[in-house]
Amino acid sequence: MITVINFGSTKTPHILSMVKALGHDCEEVKWNDFTSEKYGQQRSIIFSGSPTFLTEVDHAPYHERFSCVKLGRVPVLGICFGHQVMGILHGAQIYRGPEVRTTIPVHIVKQDALFRNLEAVTAMAEDHTEGISLPPSFIHLAYSEKYPIEAMRHTNLPLWGVQFHPEVSDENGKTLIGNFLQQC
């Protein structure tokens, strides 16, 4: 079972639909209903985006609820806000950046299974105003002209983050999510 953690994004139904279209069973769990006891019962986890600004809220509830993810026993893909949560769990700094609400070119700087069958410069939909620094133990995978850390992967655990929204990036996004699910 693929678990999609919903942080309140209007795009979460697109993640669920894409996962199902790729032939996988999935469930949606609201972020504040997730418990560490549930961790490990999933085949993989996808963190959604959110309208919340991490620059404006206390991070403690995210650390408390999702610290189990740092163990890396279950593959996790963080999308936008989920990417940022993955970052702060591992020591990244969050910052307010430029507003980006369109499709832009994302430049892949390090080939990874997540980007298999995608061009070195790939169009992806963006919808955010915050970014993160690269956390320790993560590899920088992609950047855009607006945000330096568009994608990252843990050096030895199955943990990925993407600042963009593959769930609304047409075939490029479907390929990326399919690649993630193959890693599971």
Catalytic residues: 80, 165, 167
- Considering only CA atoms, which of 13, 160, 156 is closest in space to residue 85? 160
Task: Give the other-Cβ count within 10 Å of 134's Cβ.
Answer: 18
Q: Distance between CA atoms of 2 and 181, rounded to whole angstroms?
A: 9
User: Torsion angle, CA of 166/169/171/176, rounded to 10 degrees?
Assistant: -20
* Residue type present at position 137: S
Across 71-118, the runs of DSSP E, i.e. the strands, are 76-79, 94-100, 103-108
